[in-house]
């Protein structure tokens, strides 16, 4: 399906948003962008995008507006705040929030959009910076089915598969479950690398052993070598992974689902944030474990 020169607004040009909006431009969509920091809009303007002066301005100009924002409080302020999305919504317009947020946040935005006669779809994504650049994201949409059908050509320009998961909340919850699993896996992987090192084993050999067996997976394969080198170039910021662990644990609280593994992993991400690693890649959780180990060895030396 082509773009047919479809007009789309795009709010939030962070690591993910800029790559996603760029793919829309490449596929022939007419894209109007807004970002809190204007320099990123200028970058896309050179590639053919128009710039809106506020979220409300973008929504007034475009029949459908997509957002990719940091977290629930930002998603709420951009949607419901002054000059926000809801100010620009009128009957027939659609708003698609692709940020990773909890279902309560999504529902509040959906209700405010509906109160102005608009359609709402939540559509968080699985896949990081590289899939965003390669247009191979996995889109987890829920909400207005008619908006899902309308925005499908844009989803096809940004992703490799789009799921429709029924009522608002279905996409948000699916995304949190997926990221809770991913965050726990990354924390366990980091512990394994650190333990192997302390036990005098080759971390590189550990990667090879894992890759050959049932635990081989693209995340360990892609991130492992740079983690061994102590490099954590940001694709998925650690602060966002910790936000997702927090939101997934809150969902577990609400549903009385015991999640001891995720709760322990969340503590490690919190520790990493407290060490100033929030803007590094989430694989820098490995660094927090190394810091614990260094502290333990200092205490042991002091006690000797």
Ligand X SMILES: NC(=O)C1=CN([C@@H]2O[C@H](COP(=O)(O)OP(=O)(O)OC[C@H]3O[C@@H](n4cnc5c(N)ncnc54)[C@H](OP(=O)(O)O)[C@@H]3O)[C@@H](O)[C@H]2O)C=CC1
- Inter-residue contact 278 to 243 (CB < 8 Å): no
Residue 245: Cβ-neighbour burial (10 angstroms; 0-12, 13-18, 19+): buried
> Which residue out of 40, 173, 175, 223 is catalytically annotated?
175
Q: Write out the E strands in 152-242.
A: 159-164
* Residue written as token pair 């060490």: 275
The answer to the question of residue 99 lying near ligand X (CB under 6 A) is: yes
Q: Would you give the binding string for ligand X spanning residues 12-51, x where CB under 6 A is met?
A: xxxxxx-----------------xxx--x-----------
Q: Which does 36 bind (CB under 5 to 8 A by kind): ligand O=CCCC(=O)O, ligand X, none?
A: ligand X
- Measure the CA–CA gap between 187 and 189, rounded to whole angstroms: 5
Choose which of 223, 237, 245, 284 interacts with ligand X (CB under 6 A): 237
- Rounded to whole angstroms, what are the CA distances from 39 to 45, 51, 132, 172, 204? 10, 11, 20, 30, 41
What is the torsional sign of CA 20, 26, 30, 35? Answer: positive
Mark whether 26 is an active-site residue.
Answer: no
**Minimum distance from CB of 66 to ligand O=CCCC(=O)O (Å)?**
16
Residues 228-267 that bind ligand O=CCCC(=O)O (CB under 6 A): 236
Q: Which does 78 bind (CB under 5 to 8 A by kind): ligand O=CCCC(=O)O, ligand X, none?
A: ligand X
**Minimum distance from CB of 283 to ligand O=CCCC(=O)O (Å)?**
11
Q: Which residues contact 279 (CB under 8 A, 6 or more apart)?
A: 234, 237, 238, 239
Residues 86-105 that bind ligand O=CCCC(=O)O (CB under 6 A): 100
Residue range at the interface with ligand X (CB under 6 A); choices 7-15, 182-190, 222-230, 251-259: 7-15
N-term to C-term CA, the chain: 70
Residues near ligand O=CCCC(=O)O, by CB under 6 A: 100, 126-128, 179, 236
Residues annotated as catalytic are 175
């Amino acid at each position: 399906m082509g773009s047919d020169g479809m007009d789309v607004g795009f709010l939030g040009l962070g690591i993910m948003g800029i790559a996603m909006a760029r793919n829309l431009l490449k596929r022939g969509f007419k894209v109007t962008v807004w970002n809190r920091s204007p320099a990123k809009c200028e970058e896309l303007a050179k590639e053919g995008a128009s710039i809106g002066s506020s979220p409300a301005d973008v929504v007034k100009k475009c029949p459908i507006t997509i957002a990719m924002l940091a977290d629930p409080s930002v998603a709420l302020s951009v949607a419901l705040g002054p000059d926000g999305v809801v100010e620009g919504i009128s009957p027939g317009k659609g708003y698609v929030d692709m940020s990773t947020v909890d279902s309560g946040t999504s529902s509040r935005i959906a209700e405010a959009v509906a109160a102005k006669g608009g359609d709402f779809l939540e559509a968080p994504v699985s896949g990081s910076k590289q899939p965003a650049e390669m247009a191979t994201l996995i889109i987890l949409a829920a909400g207005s089915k008619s908006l899902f059908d309308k925005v499908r050509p844009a989803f096809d320009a940004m992703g490799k598969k789009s799921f429709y998961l029924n009522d608002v909340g279905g996409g948000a919850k699916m995304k949190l479950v997926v990221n809770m699993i991913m965050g726990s896996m990354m924390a366990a992987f980091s512990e394994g690398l650190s333990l192997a090192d302390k036990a005098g084993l080759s971390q590189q050999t550990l990667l090879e052993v894992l890759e050959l067996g049932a635990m081989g997976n693209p995340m360990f394969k892609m991130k492992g070598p740079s983690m061994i080198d102590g490099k954590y170039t940001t694709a998925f910021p650690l602060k966002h992974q910790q936000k997702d662990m927090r939101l997934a644990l809150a969902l577990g609280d609400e549903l009385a689902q015991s999640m001891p593994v995720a709760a322990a992993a969340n503590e490690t991400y919190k520790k990493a944030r407290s060490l100033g690693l929030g803007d590094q890649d989430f694989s820098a959780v490995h660094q927090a474990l190394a810091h614990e180990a260094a502290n333990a060895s200092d205490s042991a030396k002091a006690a000797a």
